Structure 1
Amino acid sequence: MMVLAGLAVLTASRLGLMLWQWERVAATGIAGTMLLQGLRVDLIQLGLLVLPALLLAPLLATAPGWRLWRRLTWLWAVAGVTVLVFMELATPAFIGEYDTRPNRLFVEYLRYPQEVLSMVWLGFRAHLLAGLAATALAAWAMLRLMRPWLAVERRGRHWQLWLSWPFVFLLAAITIRSTTDHRPANPALFALTTDPMVNSLILNSTWSVAHAIYNLKHESGSSEIYGKMPVEEMLALTLGGRGQADAGLRPVTLPEAGLPTLTRLEPTRPRVRPLNLVIVLEESLGATFAASLGGLPVTPELEKLKEQGWWFEQMYATGTRSVRGIEAVVTGFLPTPAQSVVKLSLSQTGFFSLAELLARQGYHTEFIYGGESHFDNMRSFFKGNGFQRIVDQNDYPAPVFKGSWGVSDEDLFARTHEELSRHHAAGKPFFTLVFTSSNHSPFEFPDGRIALHDADKATENNAVKYADYALGRFFEQARASDYWQDTVFLVVADHDIRVRGDSLVPVERFHIPALILGGDIEPRRIRTVASQVDLPVTLLSLMGIAAEHPMIGRDLTRAAADEPGRAMMQYEQNYAWMEGERVVVLRPDQAPAHGRYDPQRKRLENGAAPDDGDELARRALAHALLPAWLYREQRYRLPETTAAARLAQAAND
C-alpha cells in the first residue's frame, strides 16, 4: 500500500510540475522519457522507504512479534507517504525561488529557523498554509487507507517467511540500485537535457534531498566527481603559467614546505603608507539590475559611481550563494561542488583570508552586517580567520528600520560611516567588510525612500532600487569624509538574485557588477573576463601591499586590454570554466560539454569541442580539483613565519 500510494503521489506531482513548466519541458522533446525515468527514480525512493521495515521482517513478522510488527509497519507507511507528500508540496515554491527541486539548500536553511521562518511567513505564507493543510489531509487519508491493516492476523508459517524473504530483499536491492553498472543510480544518471531544472523534474524531491545529505560526508573530495588527476599535473596546470606577464605574481622561492600556491605579490602601486580597504558585498545584485550591463534601470546610483572608478564589464560570480561570494572575495578560494569553506570544518581556523593577511600588517579588521552574524556560520569563520571585530544586528541601538534579515541598508551604512571615521581619526589602517541584506526575500525596506519601480512594494526590483539608494547615500558621505583619499572601496555582488536557465550553466546569471573606487583610483573600463577570485589580489596591488599569499587569482592591474581572461562558475554539480568566450562544462560522471558564450546575446550555445578541447577540459579539471585538494590537505594558508625570518633561517642553515 505504501508503494502504490507513493507511486500515485510522485507521478501526479511530476505530471503537475511538467505541465507547469511545459514550455521548457517541451523544448527538450523528452516528456515521455521523463515520465518513464521518473518512475524509475520513484521506485528507487520507495525501495529505500521499504528497506528498514523489510530488514526487520525476519525478526518481528512472526507470531511473538506480529502485533508490534503490524503497528510499526502501519506507522511507517503513513509517515513515509506523508513525507513524500510534504516534499512534493514544498517543491513548486522552491523551484520558483531556485529553479530546481529541493536540494542541499533545503537542509542548510533548517539550521537558521528564525530567519527562514520569518522569510517563509512573510514571503510564502499562502504556500506554507496550503502545504501544511494538504499534508495533514494526506496523512489523514493514509491513516484511513491503512486502517484495515491493523486488524489483519498473521498467516503462513515461519519457514515460509524466511525462505521468501531473501528474494523480496533481492528485489528491493535491485530496485534501489536501478542499474547493472559498477555504480548505483544517482541524480547524474538522469541528467538527460541541458536544462538543469527539467532534469530535476525527473527526480522526486525526497530523493533529491536525501542524496544531497548523503553527499555532505564526501565534501573533502567533492571535485572528484568530475574525474581525477595526479597532483603534480594539477599543480602544473593551475600554477605553471603564473609569471609576471600572466598574473603579476612571482612564485615564492623561499623554503616553505607544503604551501604550493604561496606567491609573493609586488604591487603595481607601491606606497609609503598602504591604503585602507572597504569591501561592500551587495546581496543578490546581479547584472540583471544594472542598465549598463544589459539589465533593468534600478541602480541609478551605481551607474553614477561607475564613472568614478574601475568598472568591470565582464565580472562573474563563482557561485549562487552568499557564502560562495564571501569565499571568493575575502579568501580568493576557488569554488567546489561542496559547501563554501565558510561552513566547512577544516577551514574554521588557520585558513587564508584578507583579514588575516592585513591583520599581520597592522590593520584593524572588522565585519559589519545588519543581520545575525551567525547566519551561514559567518561569525565562526571570520573570528577564526583574522577578523578582530564583528558588528551585527544586536549592535544597532535605534535602527531606522528592522526586517526579517536585520536592520536596513541605510542603518548598515550609517554605522559603517561612523566606524570608518573613528578608525581614521585614530590613525590606524583598517579593512572593513560590509555585507548588505535589504535585497533579500521578502524584500522589506523603509517607506518613502524611493520612487517604486513596481506597483507592489515587496518586489526584488524595488528592494534593489532601495539598496542602490542606500549605497549612493553612503558614498556621498564617504567622498566628503577624511578617510576617502586613504581608502580603496570595492562594491561587488555576492551573486545574482535567482540563478536559473535552460543551459548546463546559465552563464548570463553569473554576470555581476563590480566597481573599485576611492583614493587615487582613476576611471577605467575593464573588459577582460574576470572572476570574483581576481578581486582580492587586484585590491592588494592597488592598496600598495607587498605580501605573500596563497591566492591564484589574477592581478588585474597588470592585465592587458585585449586579454581574454577567465572565470569559473559552480552551478549545483556542474562546473563551468570560461576562457574568453569559450566554455567547457564539467559534469559528474559524464564527458565535458563544450560551448561558446555570446556576451551580447547573453547565451551559452552548445557546440563541438575545439581543436584544443582536451587541453581546455584538463585545465578546467585541474582548477576544479585544486581547491578541494588544498582544503583537504590544509594547504591554503599563510606561513607561520615571515619571508624575512625564513631568509635569516636559510642563511643560518
Structure 2
Amino acid sequence: MRNRFAFQPLYFLFWLALFLAAKALFLVYHAAPTAALSARTIARIFVYGLRLDASSTAYVCLPAYLLFVVGSLAGARFPTDRLIRLYTAVAVLLVALLTVTDLELYRAWGFRLDATPLQYLASPAEMAASAGNAPVVLLVSLFLGLLLFGWALYQKVVGRLPALPLKFGRGRAALVGVLEMILLVVPLRGGVQQIPVNQSDVYFSSQPYANHAAINVPWNVANSLFLQNGGPNPYQFMADSTASRTVSHLFATETSAPDTASARLLRQPRPNVLFIILESFTAKLVGSVGGEVGVTPTLDSLARTGVLFTNFYASGDRSQKGLVSLLSGYPNQPTTSIIKYPRKTEHLPHLCQSLKTVGYSSHYYYGGELAFANMKSYLVTAGYERFTERADFTPAQQNSKWGAHDHILFDRMLKDLPSQRQPFFVTAFTLSSHEPFDIPIPAKFPGTDEAAHFRNSVYYTDWALGRFLRAARTQPWWDNTLVVLVADHGHPLPNNDSNENPSKFHIPLLLAGGALRPEVRGRVVPAFGAQTDLAATLLAQLQLPAKEYVWSRNLLQATANPFAFYCFNNGFGMVTPAGTVTFDNVARQMMWKAPDSVPDTQLVKGQAYEQASYADFLHK
C-alpha cells in the first residue's frame, strides 16, 4: 500500500514523465530534421530541456499540492482525491491540446507554440482555413493517444490518494504537504541560480531545430502570455545612445546631391494609387527577381514595363506584421506585433491618413474577415473611408475557405472603381495563395505535395491579377493611376527554408500603371530595402512629406548604408550588398552569415536597429 506522503513526489514524477513523452513525440513527428541529429544531440535535447520541463511540472503541480494540503486539514469528508483527479484531467487535456497543436504549427511556422495563435481566436473559420493542409486524422489520433497515455501513466505512477494514517494529526499532515510544496520553488525557478530559468538556458546547439526541440511548450505558451510588453527592453545589446547613433548612421543619405530628375517616376504628383498586397508572394516564384520562371507571367510582364525593385524584403513573417510595415513604415517586433495593441497603433502614421490630407478618397478591399488578427482596428485607425470584406460578398461568391477568391475580389473592384472619387488610395489584399492553397481554376503545375499546391495558388492569383489589369487598362481612371504591387510576406515553400533564411523574406516590389513616365518603364532598382521603406518611397513620388515615417527610407535616393532588416521569432536578419547575417535572440548568438566576408559590424548594426526599434515600440 502506498504511503499518502509519497503522493506529492509521485505526482511531480507523473507530470515530468508526461512532458518528456511529449518531447519524444515532437522528435518523432518531425522525423526528417530529427534524423539529421546525432544520438548525442538527441540525448542532450532531453538533458538540457529538463530544466524547463521541471519548471513547467512545478507550476502544474502547485494547484494539486494546494488541494492536498487543504484535504489534509479538512479530513476524510473533503473529496481531495476526486478534485485532484478532476484538475489533473483538465490539465492533461490542455497539455495534450498544446502539444499536438505545436506539432503542426512548428512545421508551418518554424518556431515552438507561444501566444501568437491567440490573436486569431476571434476568427475561428480563418484559423481552420490556415490548417487546411494539416493531417487532421493523424493529429486527432495523436491527441487521443496522448490523453490515453496520460490516464494510464497517472494510474501507474500516482493512483488513488491513500487515506491519512491512523493517529496522524491533520495539522502535521498539512505541514508535510506545505513543506513539500515549498520545495517546488527550486524547480519553479529552474535551479538555485540568481536569475530564473528562461529559453536561453536550454539552448545548447548550433542547430536551431535541436534548441527548439528542447523547449517545453506549455512553459513557452505561459511565458509568452504573461511576459508584458511594457519593458524593460529585452534586446539590450549596447547603450541606448550608441544604438540611436548607429541607427541614425544607417538612415544617412549620400552627401552628394541626388539626381532628382532620374528619381521622378510619375507624370504628375497626384495620381490615383492602387495598392495591391499579394498574399505570400515569395520572390522564389517570381522569375523577374530571380525566382522560378512561368509561375507569375503577369508580374514578369509588368516588370518589363514598370519599375522593379530586385532586393526588397519582408520585414516580418505574418500578414498583420506586413500590413503595419507597408502602410505605416513601422518595424516588426520579434515575438509580438504592434497591431495587437490599438493604443499603440493609434500613434503610428498611416499612408491613408497622409494621402487624405491632400484630398485622396480611400477604400480597403479584402475577400476574408478583416477582424482576423486585429487587422480591422488598425485599418479603421488608418482612416479608410470604406471597407469591402467577406460579409459584403454573396454566399455563392465566398467560394474559398477564407472567403471570396481573388478574381471575385478584383471583379468587385472593377465594378466600384469608376465611381470612386479621384484621386483615390485604394488598397486590396489578396488571399487565395494562403494555406490551404485551394484555387477555382485547374492546376497549372503537376504534383500533389504542398509545394505544388502553393505554386499553383500563386499562379492563380497572378492569373486573376492579369485578368484584372487587362480590364483596368480600358478604364478612364487607368492613365492617372499608379499601381503598387507588393507581398505581405514571403514563404518557406517551395524549398522549406528555415525560419531565419533570407530567401524566405525576399519578396517582389513592382510599380506599374498609366501614371508612370514613359522613360522610366522597364527600370530596375537594385537598392536594398524592406517593407518599412515603401511608405517614404511612395510619399517622395507624391511630393508629400514623410517626416512622421522615421523608420522609412526613400529607396530611390542614394543611401550611405543600404540594408534590409527583418525579424522572425525570435531573432533578426540584416541584409546588405555584402551579404546576410542572422541572430538568435534567445541563444544570444549569431546563427550564420553568408558569405564569410560579411563584416562583423553588420551584426552590430542589426542589434542596434532591433534595440532602438523595440524601445520605440515600448514607448508608443
Report the Cα distance in structure 2 between the residues aligned to 1:205 and 1:296, rounded to whole angstroms.
Answer: 40
Specify every segment of 5 or more residues in structure 1 that has no aligned partner in the other structure, as ranges.
250-266, 599-606, 635-653
SS of equivalent residue, structure 2 residue 304: helix
Is 1:238 the counterpart of 2:247? The answer is yes
1:539 aligns with 2:538: yes
Kept after mapping to 2: 8 A contact 1:84/1:206: yes
State how 1:472-621 maps to structure 2 within 5 Å.
Answer: 472-498=466-492, 505-518=500-513, 519-520=515-516, 521-546=520-545, 548-559=547-558, 565-588=562-585, 590-593=587-590, 595-597=592-594, 610=599, 613=600, 615-621=601-607
Q: Which amino acid aligns with 1:460?
A: F
Tell me the equivalent position of 1:630.
616
The answer as to whether partners of 1:226 and 1:587 remain within 8 angstroms in 2 is no
User: What is aligned with 2:282?
Assistant: 286
Say if 2:96 and 2:147, in contact at 8 Å, map to a contact too. Answer: no
Please say if 1:39 is aligned against 2:50: yes
Trace 1:179-578 onto structure 2 (pairs within 5 A).
179-215=191-227, 217=228, 219-221=229-231, 224-227=233-236, 229-240=238-249, 242-245=251-254, 268=264, 273-292=269-288, 293-295=290-292, 297-397=294-394, 400=397, 402-423=399-420, 426=421, 428-448=422-442, 451-455=444-448, 459-498=453-492, 505-518=500-513, 519-520=515-516, 521-546=520-545, 548-559=547-558, 565-578=562-575
1:125-140 equivalent positions in 2, closer than 5 A: 125-134=136-145, 137-138=148-149
SS at match of 1:182: coil
Partner in structure 2 of residue 14 of structure 1 = 23
Q: Does 1:171 align with 2:168?
A: no
How has the CA–CA distance of structure 1 residues 422 and 77 changed in structure 2, closer, same or farther, with 3 Å as cutoff?
Answer: same
The TM-score normalised by the length of structure 1 is: 0.82
**Residues 244, 41 of structure 1: alpha-carbon distance in 2 compared, 3 angstrom cutoff:** closer
Alpha-carbon displacement from aligned partner over 1:587-621 (angstroms, at most 9, x marks no partner): 436544274335xxxxxxxx6984xx3x5444323
When normalised by structure 2's length, the TM-score is: 0.86
Shift of 1:174: 0.8
SS at match of 2:553: coil
Residue type of the alignment partner of 1:514: L
Contact 1:454 1:461 in 2 (8 A): no
Q: Displacement, 1:484?
A: 2.3
1:386-425 C-alpha deviation (Å, 9 max, x unpaired): 22211111222475452221100001111222333322xx
Q: Report the alpha carbon displacement of residue 531 of structure 1 after superposing the two structures with TM.
A: 0.9
Question: 8 Å contact 2:497–2:504 — kept in the other structure?
Answer: no
Instruction: Give the Cα separation in 2 of the matches to 1:88 and 1:530.
Output: 38
- For 1:298 and 1:583, how far apart are their aligned partners in 2? 27
Alpha-carbon distance in 1 for matches of 2:110, 2:500: 12
Determine the structure 2 residue equivalent to 1:96: 107
CA shift digits 1:64-117 (9 cap, x unpaired):
476333322222223323333333233332222223332223333333223223
Q: Name structure 2 gaps, 5 residues minimum.
A: 1-9
d(CA) in 1 for partners of 2:449, 2:602: 47
How far apart in 2 are the matches of 1:99 and 1:233? 32
CA shift at 1:234, angstroms?
Answer: 3.5
Change (3 A) 1:618 1:93: closer
Give the aligned residue type for 1:413: F
CA-CA distance at 1:558 after TM superposition = 1.7
* CA deviation profile, 1:438-480 (whole Å, cap 9, x unmatched): 11222222134x5344357992222112111111112222233
Q: Is the 8 A contact 1:504 1:574 kept in 2?
A: no
Cα deviation for residue 247 of structure 1 reads: 11
Deviates more, 1:413-422 or 1:567-576: 413-422
Q: Structure 1 CA distance, aligned partners of 2:348 and 2:588?
A: 33
In 2 relative to 1, CA 94–328 (structure 1 residues): closer, same or farther, beyond 3 Å? Answer: same
Amino acid at match of 1:451: K
SS of match in other structure, 1:111: coil
Of 69-78 and 405-414, deviating more is 69-78
Three-state SS of the structure 2 residue aligned to 1:388 is: coil
SS in 1 for 2:118: helix
Q: Comparing 159-168 with 278-287, which one deviates more in the overlay?
A: 159-168
Task: Report the residue type matching 2:180 in the other structure.
Answer: V
User: 1:118 deviation in Å?
Assistant: 4.8
Distance 1:537 1:349 in 2: 19
CA distance in 1: counterparts of 2:248 and 2:267, whole angstroms: 28
Alignment of 1:83 onto 2:94: yes
**Bigger shift: residues 347-356 or 111-120:** 111-120
> Residue 332 of structure 1: CA displacement?
0.5
Q: Is the 8 A contact 1:318 1:334 kept in 2?
A: yes
Q: CA deviation at 1:629?
A: 2.9
Q: Give the letter aligned to residue 274 of structure 1.
A: R
How far apart in 1 are the matches of 2:393 and 2:524? 37
- Further displaced range: 95-104 or 267-276: 267-276
8 A contact 2:528–2:564 mirrored in 1: yes
In structure 1, what residue type is equivalent to 2:551?
A: I
1:114 aligns with 2:111: no
Task: For residue 183 of structure 2, give the secondary structure of its aligned residue in structure 1.
Answer: helix
Shift of 1:153: 4.5
